[in-house]
């Protein structure tokens, strides 16, 4: 058994970590902190032409989420970047040069998905460190699999400490969990050690 004070301490520490972006780790990809999306490859934004914005009854344009949402913290259902098919690459410039140690991938939990499943979630993916944004094949930092039966937020440590440091990483989504038309990326984070 534990005392009330011990229980309170457990709860307070859990809430503290939760309030620190749930991980307590710097996200060098976060847009407001200095990260930015440089480009996409092998990926075509899935244009649904479903969200129509209008003013005074005059249709203005169809809205769809841009890849920027992948480095923004709002992960409510729909606030993902959808690309056609199950393969898509995203090149992200980090807020500073780091030696990446861990990546975080988030998707909405199944309980919040209107369809009851998360087939649009990414499955196998790889992350590369690039010297510059035009480099086609960078240094492979790791291959991972997002588990659709796992937690909504999953963290993936880099298997082998990279020798170099990078300010540009490429996230390559290689497969999804079955959605025939598109894959949705909610949030991708990059954690690591800053270098001078």
Report the residue number, 34 or 157, with the smaller CB distance to another protein.
34
By CB under 8 A, the residues from 127 to 166 that bind another protein are: 133-134
**If we measure between CA atoms, which residue out of 184, 34, 193 comes closest to residue 117?**
184
CA dihedral 183, 173, 134, 45 (to 10 degrees): 0
64 binds, among its own copies, another protein, none (CB under 5 to 8 A by kind): another protein
HSE value, Cβ hemisphere, 13 Å, CA-based, for 53: 5
To another protein, the closest distance from the beta carbon of 18 in angstroms equals 21
To another protein, the closest distance from the beta carbon of 28 in angstroms equals 10
Report the residue number, 169 or 184, with the smaller CB distance to another protein.
184
> Does residue 66 touch another protein according to CB under 8 A?
yes
Among 15, 61, 62, 164, binds its own copies (CB under 8 A): 15
Q: Which residue has the tokens 């409510």?
A: 76
Structure tokens at 135: 């480099």
Measure the CA–CA gap between 139 and 130, rounded to whole angstroms.
7
> Does residue 75 touch another protein according to CB under 8 A?
no
- Residue 169's region, left for phi above 0, alpha for psi from -120 to 50, else beta, is beta
Cβ density class 177-190: b for 16+ within 10 Å, e for less? bebeebbbbbbbbb
Interacting residue ranges for another protein, rule: CB under 8 A? 31-46, 48-57, 60-61, 63-68, 77-78, 80, 82, 87, 89, 91, 93, 95-96, 108, 113-115, 120, 133-134, 182, 184
Interacting residue ranges for its own copies, rule: CB under 8 A? 1-4, 6-8, 10-12, 14-15, 18-22, 24-28, 30-34, 50, 73, 76-79, 95-96, 109, 111-116, 152, 194
């Amino acid at each position: 058994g534990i005392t009330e004070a011990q229980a309170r301490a457990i709860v307070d520490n859990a809430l503290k970590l939760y309030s620190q972006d749930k991980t307590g780790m710097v996200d060098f990809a976060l847009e407001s902190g200095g990260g930015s999306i440089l480009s996409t490859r092998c990926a075509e934004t899935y244009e649904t032409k479903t969200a129509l914005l209008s003013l005074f009854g005059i249709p203005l344009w169809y809205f769809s989420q841009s890849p920027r949402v992948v480095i923004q913290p709002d992960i409510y259902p729909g606030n993902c970047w959808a690309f056609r098919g199950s393969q898509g690459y995203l090149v992200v410039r980090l807020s500073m040069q780091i030696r990446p140690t861990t990546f975080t991938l988030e998707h909405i939990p199944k309980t919040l998905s209107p369809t009851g499943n998360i087939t649009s979630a990414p499955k196998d993916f790889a992350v590369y460190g690039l010297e510059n944004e035009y480099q086609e094949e960078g240094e492979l930092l790791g291959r991972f699999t997002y588990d659709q039966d796992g937690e909504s937020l999953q963290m993936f440590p880099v298997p082998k400490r990279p020798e170099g440091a990078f300010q540009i990483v490429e996230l390559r989504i290689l497969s999804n969990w079955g959605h025939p038309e598109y894959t949705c990326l909610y949030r991708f984070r990059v954690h690591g050690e800053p270098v001078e």
